[in-house]
Chains A and B, each alone.
Chain A
Amino acid sequence: MAGTSESNSSPVILLENLVKFFGRFAALRGISASFAPGRLYVVVGDNGAGKSTLLRVVAGLMEPSQGSFTILGSRKVREVAHRVGYMGHAPLLYDELDGMENLRYFAGLYGIHDDEISRNAMRTVGLDPELSRRVGQYSQGMRQRLSLARAVLHNPELMLLDEPFSNVDVRSARDMAAVLGRVRDQGKTIFVVTHQAPLMENVADEFVHMSAGKIVAREEMARAAVAVDPPVRASL
């Protein structure tokens, strides 16, 4: 089992009474939880349950209204930004650039200047690095894959993925889920917010159920032992 037990390792994320208000609406209502490294968490819940808000707070895109959290041992997300990968609900890509131009630019933000890493990231998600079409002309599924490639190209220890399978066909989504499983097996921690929970059943370590801004249940998954595949990619 690649996942490390919570008892013998420091948490990758520790939430302490996290509250987030939008005006008078509380999107997060006092969440306290601890998440161990090297595991794949699937966050599920109805629309408005607070899943994406939780991810955005942890990614440092929003300040919590109350409470605090620790991520990768730091209270300042900025300090560990190079160790975190975030994939948002929107693609977070420039429509006017092609896939490689996008990845090259975002890789540069992490101090990566080797094109081969960006090419590998594209191949890993099933896209052709030689594709010269601009992202504005990509299908929704292709954008989603490229967005995943962007989130993981700097080889982060912690990945926060918001709806990575939306608009992706079932077969590609299964492939992407398998890729995430293999990345977790390399010791990375992954949070996936999704409405397509069945896709993750075979690879998830734990399902985190959210409702009305709270974590209402955590369900440990018993994963069948699988043959170890070759590493997805050294940089992923």
Chain B
Amino acid sequence: MSTFGVTRSTLAKDLRMEWRSKDAINSMLFFSLLVVVIFSFAFNPTAEESRHIAGGLMWVAFLFAAVVALNQTWARELRNQVLDAYRVSPAPANSLFLAKAIGNFLFVVILECLMAPLFVVFYELRSIGPVWQLIVVALLGTWALVVNGTFFAALSIRTRNREIMLPLILFPISIPALLGMVDATTSILTGEASPVFWIKLLTVYDIVFTSVCLLLFEVVLNAE
């Protein structure tokens, strides 16, 4: 059984289960929608002000929403102790991690696609910088969130208060990535600075943390 084959079948299984239950996507959507509406009423910003704060608002909304999905990821594997069936199989541990991370990435990207028009409407957003750079930042930033989130969610599944543990571990370690996402997004929206440095930072962050997570996941999976 190849890493690619098991990753693909695990991802397909997770997508099928999410399609049927819609647990993660509904919770994320509802949460993000609340953030957008509440912040919109609270600040009522002008178009110019929006460009300066939207980066922070968007990523905070996506970060908190992602945590909802990340908690769901492993909860499914704990029900009926299904994770044990994977652990006793000869399938590579990294396939499970990659499938979960890619699945979460897709969920959060779908959320971002659905929420982006709402941000535009509620905050009268018009990007001054090139929009394709926003897409690059969104993809790199989302992967930074989900790769660590998936790993730390796995790390906290055997703890009693795992819903609380995950943000406690994830948020501090995501600070460099969050800084990159917010500053890059703001730079592009306002057109006041080049986002290249932040995009490079996000790329390095993604490569480093993906490698570390892949190296350590088998230990985490088999920890008692």
Contacts and interface: CB of A to CB of B under 8 A. Distances in A.
Contacts of B89: 81-82, 106, 109-110
Nearest to B224: A62
Contact of A101 (B16, B79, B84): B16
A109 B82 contact: no
B80 interface: yes
A92 interface: yes
A220 interface: no
B88 A61 contact: yes
B13 A94 contact: yes
A200 interface: no
A108 B82 contact: no
A94 B86 CA distance: 12
13 contacts: A81-B89, A86-B84, A90-B80, A90-B84, A91-B80, A92-B81, A92-B82, A94-B13, A94-B82, A97-B17, A101-B16, A109-B90, A110-B89
Contact of A84 (B1, B81, B82, B88): B88
Given A97-B17, A105-B9, A92 B91 contact: no
A61 B84 contact: yes
Contacts of A63: 224
Contact of A150 (B1, B6, B17, B85): B85
B160 interface: no
Contacts of B86: 109
Interface string B57-68: 000000000000
A137 to B, nearest CB: 12
* Interface footprint category on B: 20 to 34
A109 B87 CA distance: 10
B200 interface: no
A88 B86 CA distance: 12
Nearest to A105: B13
A111 interface: yes
B126 interface: no
Contact of A94 (B80, B84, B88, B91): B80
Given A96-B21, A101-B16, A61 B80 contact: no
B85 A92 contact: yes
For chain B, what secondary structure do more than half of its interface residues adopt (helix, strand, loop), or is it mixed? helix
A59 B87 CA distance: 9
Contacts of A86: 84-85, 88
A108 to B, nearest CB: 4
Contact of A97 (B5, B10, B16): B16
Contacts of A223: none
A150 B84 CA distance: 12
A63 to B, nearest CB: 7
A90 B83 CA distance: 11
Given A108-B5, A110-B90, A97 B84 contact: no
A218 interface: no
B25 to A, nearest CB: 14
A60 interface: yes
A81 B1 CA distance: 12
Given A92-B80, A92-B81, A61 B16 contact: no
Contact of B6 (A88, A91, A94, A109): A109
B35 to A, nearest CB: 28
B90 A96 contact: no
B33 to A, nearest CB: 25
A133 interface: no
